[in-house]
Amino acid sequence: MSGAIESVLNETRVFTPPDDSAARIPDMAHYHALRKRFDDDFTGTWGELARQHIHWHKPFSSVLDDSDAPFFKWFADGEVNMSENCLDRHVHAGLGERTAIIWEGESGEVRHISYAALLADVCRAANAMRQLGIEQGDRVVIYMPMIPEAAVAMLACTRIGATHSVVFGAFSANALRERVMDAGAKLVVTADGGWRRGKVHALKPSVDAALEKGCACVEHVLVVKHGGNDVDWQQGRDVDWRQALNAQPDICQPLAVDAEHPLFILYTSGSTGSPKGIVHATGGYLLWSILTMQWVFDFRSDSDVFWCTADIGWITGHTYSVYGPLACGGTTLMYEGVPTYPDAGRLWKICADHGVTVFYTAPTAIRALIKAGDAWPKKHDLSKLRVLGTVGEPINPEAWMWYHEVIGGGRCPIVDTWWQTETGGHMISPLPFATATKPGSASFPLPGIFAEVVDLEGQAVGKGQGGLLVVTKPWPSMLRGIWGDAERYRDTYWQKFDGRYYFAGDGARKDEDGYFWIMGRVDDVLNVSGHRLGTMEIESALVSHAAVAEAAVVGRPDDIKGEAICAFVILKQQASDDLKSELRAHVALEIGPIAKPDDIRFADNLPKTRSGKIMRRLLRDIAAGREITQDISTLEDHRVIAQLQAKD
């Protein structure tokens, strides 16, 4: 049974995993055996798993093609269809009546969608897309609230070989336009609006605004009527989703595509430049979404109700709200709305009402709900929960303990999963019924994943040491590149260690027991409420305002968000409080509300070295209100420090 025991090493708490002989990986011996299979026969093991878990139209003969590294190919000559693996094969296995999606709207409306019904809708949507001219290889942007139609749109794309790119619904029209243009999308699927805090947040007007300013590639917009907003229909371009689907037959043969066919593009922030379109391939991604569901969540498709709270606009929503649970033939829950509406008990009420058994969320949500108090979860019956997960940022041990005790009743193992948009699925995580957990540690790499902590020369650090997190061998669900920019892919991820290792951009430490502790980004990427934002993107947004001459953005620790955004701004005009709110609104318009700076500080100058580099470490200390430890003797103008330290 689970219980805290003092570790002799590091004096950290260690929680022994609960016993469950029915678990897929019931103990560490199984974990080590599985790892050993990969050590002994890397490609053979991947090949065997891919044959076992995927329905192939045409079997593959080559498992891994590394002849053009780092452009790796997996199962390249195999042919497969994603939607068929997520839907048809379960219906053919007699599971048509099983619930695929439980959806709850913010107002309390509930829909249960069976596999048979989902398949029929996906076929209609796929036919409708074809009728709008979408063919294999075309890109479709999905800009939707968390409603089942979003999952239908994703699956419909995969049915006909179109590549989707989901854009988070809270991104602005400008951010949407940038992504639509980069992807060269022919179709945008959207809704009139989505519910947030009891109100409808309009989406279609953002699409109109995005397309108005020149997205010549887009031919049609499919609009789901959901929020009751009036829609400004553009003749010839806009099409009503329901009408289009109703006009179509509910049968559409799944198109077999190459395993390497781009399944989707998902934009994410990096340390430089505009967001990059991370490309994922069909076969490898499908395989890893299934295996990680089974290993990391111990997902049981016949009895679990799985709820990942992430929006489909992020990779977590792709892999663990949609593809993973459906590829396994299980039940996934989608909730449209905020976690604290109408009160801070909403998530726990949903868990109780629908009998959620596996719950997956972000530390930022946990911290916000801790603040709301224990009374909320205590009101609801959480006894069905059996596995809890976290993702997106390091979880502080206090939040881990609360999650474990108050939500998990001290009974549920916690899987702290480290991964990235680029990795497609989990990489480092405890296995719920095998790994002894330490609050705040993602523990060990999964079987098949060769992760290491290395120094700047690429040498593995010893136990108890920190360094950079790398992956030393390719894996099936790895990104295949950055859309339209092969060189940037090579430079960003592979150049640091001369093509030998995938560089994740995170720092990590390995403790005396070999547990991995993720320390956070080592580049200029912020992690705000579990969302990635590049400091440069926010700086560019600020500088695009007429009043701003120069801007530097850094993160500072924040109790709830993990990291808050602090902007140091040099103005071309007189400072004022109004200007601060104007700049915040401007960033929301350029990127989206999640990128709004929490602090804006005006100064005459930014601290720079004599060679002209912004002293970011100094700015981080100032933002956090820490003592300045950096040597500032090279700083040209010492007065700026006092200015920058002055708060609102």
Q: Under the rule (CB under 6 A), what is the footprint of ligand WTA?
A: 268, 314-316, 391-394, 416-421, 442, 504-506, 518, 520-521, 527, 532
Distance, CA of 543 to CA of 31 (rounded, Å):
51
DSSP letters, 166-228, are: E--TTS-HHHHHHHHHHHT-SEEEEESEEEETTEEEE-HHHHHHHHHTT-TT--EEEEE--S-
CB of 362 to ligand WTA, least distance (A): 9
Pick the closer one to ligand WTA by CB: 38 or 168. Answer: 168
CB of 505 to ligand WTA, least distance (A): 6
CB of 525 to ligand WTA, least distance (A): 7
Tell whether omega for the bond before 70 is within 30 degrees of 0, i.e. cis: yes
CB of 504 to ligand WTA, least distance (A): 6
CB of 199 to ligand WTA, least distance (A): 27
CB of 319 to ligand WTA, least distance (A): 8
Distance, CA of 306 to CA of 421 (rounded, Å):
21
Single-letter amino acid code for the residue at 4: A
Pick the closer one to ligand WTA by CB: 329 or 562. Answer: 562
Pick the closer one to ligand WTA by CB: 389 or 607. Answer: 389
Alpha helical stretches, state H, 396-513: 397-402, 486-489
Burial class from Cβ neighbours inside 10 Å (0-12, 13-18, 19+) for residue 12 reads middle
DSSP β-bridge partners for residue 56 = 80
CB of 351 to ligand WTA, least distance (A): 21
Pick the closer one to ligand WTA by CB: 115 or 320. Answer: 320
Pick the closer one to ligand WTA by CB: 241 or 295. Answer: 295
CB of 419 to ligand WTA, least distance (A): 5
Distance, CA of 257 to CA of 76 (rounded, Å):
10
Pick the closer one to ligand WTA by CB: 339 or 520. Answer: 520
Single-letter amino acid code for the residue at 577: D
Strand extents, DSSP E, 472-547? 481-482, 502-510, 516-521, 525-528, 531-534
Pick the closer one to ligand WTA by CB: 83 or 441. Answer: 441
In total, the chain counts a number of residues equal to 648
Q: Tell me how crowded residue 582 is: count the other CB atoms within 10 A of its CB.
A: 12
CB of 392 to ligand WTA, least distance (A): 5
CB of 278 to ligand WTA, least distance (A): 8
DSSP β-bridge partners for residue 532 = 527
Q: What per-residue string of b and e applies to 586-604 under the rule 16 or more CB within 10 Å gives b?
A: bbbbbbbebbbbbebbbbe
Pick the closer one to ligand WTA by CB: 193 or 275. Answer: 275
Distance, CA of 267 to CA of 276 (rounded, Å):
5
Pick the closer one to ligand WTA by CB: 349 or 509. Answer: 509
Pick the closer one to ligand WTA by CB: 50 or 442. Answer: 442
Enter the DSSP assignment of 236: T
67: Cβ contacts below 8 Å, ≥ 6 apart: none
H or E segment and range at residue 549: strand 548-558
Looking at beta carbons, which residue is closest to ligand WTA? 421
